Structure 1
Amino acid sequence: MAKEPMLKFVTVGRDMPTKRSAEDRKDDFLEIYGEFADEKAKEQASRCSQCGVPYCHTHCPLHNNIPDWLRLTATGRLKEAYEISQATNSFPEICGRICPQDRLCEGNCVIEQSGHGTVTIGSVEKYITDTAWEEGWVELIKPVIEREESVGIIGSGPGGLAAADRLRRAGLKVTVYERSDRAGGLMMYGIPGFKLEKDIVLRRVKQLEDSGVEFVLNCNVGEDISFDAIRGKHDAVLIATGVYKSRDLKGPGSGAAGIVRAIDYLTCSNKLSFGDEVEEFETGELNAAGKKVVVIGGGDTAMDCLRTAIRQGATSVKCLYRRDRANMPGSQRETQNAEEEGVEFVWLSAPKGFTGDPVTGVMVQKMRLGAPDASGRQSPEVIEGADYIEEADLVIKALGFEPEDLPALWGVEELETTRWGTVMADFTTHATNLEGVYACGDIQRGASLVVWAIRDGREAADAMVEYLDQSAAVAAE
């Protein structure tokens, strides 16, 4: 009788890929986690309990067939594991690196709940597809039938690229319009290399390009080409712009030099990794070297800014967050990584204003947690008389993102938006109120995770194919 290859969580402990020491990693922008070796990947995959109701699958936005590809990995059938993984996820190697698994699949793993330590799902997922690239299993997209219809996609972030992948597989002509000089959106310029090295993203972009997807870069819709012109060129259009308008801070001194937006700071750092010249870095405006840095915010973008400032050589790096650690929206894993690298977290603290111009300090109000708000989270309350000044030469605002006013920017006032400014679209088909126009990702749901954008992009692509099929059927009658 064959030995059971799974359910080894009782005898095999949870193990992560080797993590570089804080001293080693804080001097560069390379990924901090190593790669599983084949035997280690098999060992960790074999810890899966193959439970009847897999909560890892349920709590994954893409509903990846996680127990299936863990079992295939454990039994040495890695190519099949890749095929199962790729079937539900356009970019598994990216999700394996940047998904907050501790809040999604791994955080809901049955053996984690029973005290045995979660299966290291993200690391195995990354290993499967990295191996697939090395072995040549990742092939160009070759549609069974080439169709005449074309689709325009505005934005080349995770949602836009996932849709491009899906639409090209359906045989459609796909053109992606991107206002930046490189495709990838948030994955290219918003996420630092120590979480997602850029050749990983470039590799996927090249795969799409070599498969026939056309990329039009440095193309700002509303300026370089009108939205109506894009609609006129294509049979259907997908809006996948993401949300890039930064939430702002008010209060005395908020307009001082030295107070910058997180997206500007991270974009500058990522451009430098390509060897680009960035004037704001050269002048010191977006350079943390030798400065006391304060980052305001508690999400993953704040973590990225904190850890980037450490690598740029800041003399001190502090994070102000108005709630406590337990109520922080960012990944606990990222918080731990930041602390290891020398970041100091100042919990229950909120900015009241700023001193100096250029900035010399943040006026901080100390907070306590009061009654829960409508979402169930405890609302922060000001502790009177506990204000103080936190010294700072560079303040980075990482308070989240809001949508730009697309109807006004694009001159298409008839495009319906929500009261939050996101594009109003059906959450199943992603269809907007305009004929043949769809929306996906953050511009539809608000600032969210890359994995949700990938799901939205895939869903929107499938709905667009159905729409074009119906249009073709009507035309043939």
Structure 2
Amino acid sequence: MASRMLKFTSINPTMPEKRAAEARRSDFQEIYGDYAQTVAEDQAARCSQCGVPFCQQGCPLSNNIPDWLKLAAEDRMEEAYQVSSATNNMPEICGRICPQDRLCEGICTVEQSGHGTVTIGAMERYITDNAWEQGYVTPIKPPREREQSAGIIGAGPGGLAAAEQLRRKGYQVTVYDRYDRGGGLLVYGIPGFKLEKHIVERRIKRLEESGVRFEFNASIGETHKLSDLRDEHDTLLIATGVYKARDLMVPGAGCEGVHKALDFLTTSNRKGLGDDVPEFENGTLDAKSRKVVVIGGGDTAMDCVRTAIRQGATSVSCLYRRDRANMPGSQREVANAEEEGVVFEWLASPEALIDDEGGKLKAVRAARMKLGAPDPSGRQSPEKTGETFDIEADMVIKALGFDPEDLPQLFNEPALTVNRWGAIKVDFATLETSLPGVFAAGDIVRGASLVVWAIKDGRDAAESMHKRMKQMARTASAAPVAAE
């Protein structure tokens, strides 16, 4: 068969069809359609099959991107799925929510050559969605069952990835989560227009069909003791993520109408899932007919502004203290938000929240900024120009990032050590914590980060847990049997 690859000079990059902004801003369905098979094959064929694949180096999971693109271009879709899923436990989710412009696509050789990036994320999504449709994705059947068990605290992407890896090796796995559903921020934090919830639900169902046990509404330190879980399981993984919102330290920050980003997003997602949500029903966390200002420039801020648009806000503005080129969020998400009617105030930082005599928010006073000398990270530091301006607002959403909760206190386990930022300390070679046999992975170790990094950490932790339990089994089998 003649090679179908290296077509980047004759085939232009094409994303799946995107729904018109006017249509999509009124619902929470995903904004991108699906590739037709012939289009998908053509887009995969644009890959240059680099001898040194920079896209793979730009991926935290080191996905074998050129390999599964070549297989897809040759219509070997089941093989493409097998290669893609060998390194990633949820490729269709990463294909939807990874900031590919900052990772694999941003470093793509074809992109650097000026021909436009290979649409890696869209192809990753297409390959696995097709695999689900064709029945290639099946429950895990370990080659043999092991008696040893592993407990996982947290049903987010890191915990789910670890659960799958351990179950593949035949371990008995139980996942504990404080919420009433699995998925963590995939379900409660990320809006449906980026990731429809049935995509996550089918992953949970597959794990259940594979023999993974889930215990929901399980709060460690309340309904379950960490010490009991350590006794019950041979190894334990903490993959709770980080949920403590950073606060807004300006005058008026406590006035009525100021909310945390995660509260706003969780309320919206629960409403979409059909839950009874009093905070939405009474209007507290519903942006309908409100003048909304979101403060922050990351992906969470983008989720908030686009959710407010869909809830029917009168106006939606986003304040960010640096310029567009220096914002941490995905540029693709910014473009989508602008199309949907969000107004961005670049180089603007909140100075005060202004309320009326009754304590209700009525405006945000912001300072105009300029970029000065680089800070220790190399980014230019924002500096005030002396100019201020007001934006009318009756709802402010704080999207300033997240810090770890105080897990030693929550878990009633003071021997669990954390660093000065509150993240769990681990041996980075094994991800083992200060508690023997207890491991940690994802945001609770590295700080708020990307889903793809949580998956990577979950896989690495599972491998360390496997090594620990294998060694325990060897030690037990070598122990002398006491004479009767």
User: Could you tell me the TM-score, scaled by structure 1's length?
Assistant: 0.99
Partners of 1:253 and 1:355 within 8 A in 2 = yes
Q: Counterpart of 1:57 in 2: which secondary structure?
A: helix
1:359 is matched with 361
For 1:411, give the aligned amino acid.
Answer: N
Partners of 1:156 and 1:178 within 8 A in 2 = yes
Q: In structure 2, what is the Cα distance between the partners aligned to 1:428 and 1:164?
A: 20
1:9 is matched with 8
1:376 is matched with 378
Cα RMSD for the two superposed structures: 0.7
Partner deviation per Cα, 1:172-202 (whole Å, 9 max, x = no partner): 1111110011110010100000000000000
Partner deviation per Cα, 1:23-82 (whole Å, 9 max, x = no partner): 010010000001111101100000000011100001100000000000000011110000
For 1:364, give the aligned amino acid.
Answer: A
For 1:53, give the aligned amino acid.
Answer: V
Deviation at 1:247, TM superposition (A): 0.3
Q: Counterpart of 1:152 in 2: which secondary structure?
A: strand
1:392 is matched with 393
2:141 is matched with 142
Q: Counterpart of 1:306 in 2: which secondary structure?
A: helix
1:72 is matched with 71
Q: Counterpart of 2:297 in 1: which secondary structure?
A: coil
Q: In structure 2, what is the Cα distance between the partners aligned to 1:205 and 1:123?
A: 22
1:469 is matched with 470
Within-5 A mapping of 1:251-270: 251-270=250-269
For 1:430, give the aligned amino acid.
Answer: L
1:35 is matched with 34
Q: Counterpart of 2:361 in 1: which secondary structure?
A: coil
Q: In structure 2, what is the Cα distance between the partners aligned to 1:38 and 1:431?
A: 44
Q: Counterpart of 1:8 in 2: which secondary structure?
A: coil
Partner deviation per Cα, 1:360-396 (whole Å, 9 max, x = no partner): 1112111110000000000000112x12221101000
Stretch of structure 1 that moved more, 357-366 or 171-180: 357-366
Q: In structure 1, what is the Cα distance between the partners aligned to 2:102 and 2:379?
A: 16
Partners of 1:97 and 1:123 within 8 A in 2 = yes
Q: Counterpart of 1:418 in 2: which secondary structure?
A: coil
**Residue 118 (structure 2) pairs with residue 119 (structure 1):** yes
Q: Counterpart of 1:107 in 2: which secondary structure?
A: coil
Partners of 1:355 and 1:361 within 8 A in 2 = yes
- Name the count of aligned residue pairs: 475
1:319 is matched with 318
Q: In structure 2, what is the Cα distance between the partners aligned to 1:58 and 1:28?
A: 36
Partners of 1:93 and 1:129 within 8 A in 2 = yes
**Residue 443 (structure 2) pairs with residue 438 (structure 1):** no
Q: Counterpart of 1:387 in 2: which secondary structure?
A: strand
Q: In structure 1, what is the Cα distance between the partners aligned to 2:20 and 2:429?
A: 44
Partners of 1:364 and 1:388 within 8 A in 2 = yes
Q: Counterpart of 1:106 in 2: which secondary structure?
A: coil
Deviation at 1:3, TM superposition (A): 2.9
Partners of 1:245 and 1:401 within 8 A in 2 = yes
Tell me which stretches of 4 or more aligned residues in structure 1 moved more than 3 Å: none
Partners of 1:259 and 1:397 within 8 A in 2 = yes
For 2:453, give the aligned amino acid.
Answer: W
Deviation at 1:227, TM superposition (A): 1.0
Structure 1 unmatched runs, 5+: none
Q: Counterpart of 2:8 in 1: which secondary structure?
A: helix
Q: Counterpart of 1:314 in 2: which secondary structure?
A: coil
1:454 is matched with 455
**Residue 403 (structure 2) pairs with residue 408 (structure 1):** no
Partners of 1:367 and 1:382 within 8 A in 2 = yes
Deviation at 1:427, TM superposition (A): 2.5
Q: Counterpart of 2:228 in 1: which secondary structure?
A: helix
For 2:59, give the aligned amino acid.
Answer: C
Q: Counterpart of 2:102 in 1: which secondary structure?
A: coil
1:418 is matched with 419
**Residue 102 (structure 2) pairs with residue 103 (structure 1):** yes
Q: In structure 2, what is the Cα distance between the partners aligned to 1:324 and 1:45?
A: 34
Q: In structure 1, what is the Cα distance between the partners aligned to 2:128 and 2:136?
A: 9
Q: In structure 1, what is the Cα distance between the partners aligned to 2:11 and 2:49?
A: 15
1:226 is matched with 225
Identity fraction in percent: 62
Q: In structure 2, what is the Cα distance between the partners aligned to 1:237 and 1:211?
A: 19
2:212 is matched with 213
Deviation at 1:426, TM superposition (A): 2.3
Q: In structure 1, what is the Cα distance between the partners aligned to 2:132 and 2:430?
A: 32
User: Could you tell me the TM-score, scaled by structure 2's length?
Assistant: 0.97
For 2:191, give the aligned amino acid.
Answer: P
1:342 is matched with 341
Partners of 1:428 and 1:459 within 8 A in 2 = no
1:429 is matched with 430
